[in-house]
Amino acid sequence: MGHATETLERAEHAAHAGHGGHEPAGRLTMWVGITMATLGVLLAFAAAKVGGERTELVKALVDQQHAHAKYQAQDIKHRAAVLSLRQLHATAAGEKVDAKDMLALATSVERYYAESQAANEWVDSYDPVIRAHTDGQEEYERAQLAAEFGIVVASIALLLRRRAPWFVALALGMVAVGILGGTWRHVGHIVHQAEAKIEETGKAYRELRDSGKTTEADDALVAEVRAAYGAPKPKATP
């Protein structure tokens, strides 16, 4: 935004210089001034969109890392403790193995694999959003650059009172408008589809996670181990 402000200030100085000449201001001067004002608006809009894309890009990256780490860390710690407990309980009776615990362990292995695949799909669903915002940022910067060049060329047209540089400035303005419109449509389409995929994969993971919960069985196992070794149940923390 600072660079855009400097460009607008230079354009304003050029406009004052054009009006301060010895030749009377004509229609060309008026239209060049309107062109410069329009290019200034395009420049400010492009700069705002660049900042917006950067913000959305950072947000998508944070959300992706959140999806990757939120469940993984806690689930690994919890499930590793449960699996270790089941292994100890299954082998505690010497050579006799508890078939129920062994089957539960096998079921848990299958469940964790399915959950890891679902989580991986959830993480991957953020990739199109990240690419879209990255590309969008670059395209909006190109539109900003076109508008800046347009203001400079329009300033030359105003100082020289020539139509040729004015036409070049108009062409650069049209290029900026084309880039802005095309990028807005392209990024919006991809992000809309990707957000639906993110919601779908996230929901699938959460449903799989909830449906595979074995809280009751885990609590029963803990209670059995405590009873077998004479350990009282700890008091619930407030």
Q: Roughly how many angstroms between the first and final C-alpha of the chain, as a whole number? A: 52
Is residue 235, in this structure, part of any structural domain at all? no
Q: What is the pLDDT of residue 194?
A: 92
Q: Can you tell me the distance from the alpha carbon of 155 to that of 146, in angstroms, rounded to the nearest whole number?
A: 14
Q: What is the pLDDT of residue 115?
A: 82
Is residue 75, in this structure, part of any structural domain at all? yes
Q: Can you tell me the distance from the alpha carbon of 166 to that of 163, in angstroms, rounded to the nearest whole number?
A: 5
Q: Can you tell me the distance from the alpha carbon of 3 to that of 141, in angstroms, rounded to the nearest whole number?
A: 12
Which residue reads 């004479």 in tokens? Answer: 230
Q: How many structural domains is the chain composed of?
A: 1
Which residues in the chain come in under a pLDDT of 70?
1-25, 70-71, 73-74, 77-78, 81, 88-90, 92-99, 101-102, 231-238
Structural domain span for residue 145: 2-228
Is residue 233, in this structure, part of any structural domain at all? no
Contact 44, 11 (CB under 8 A): no
Other residues' Cβ atoms within 10 Å of the Cβ of residue 138: 12
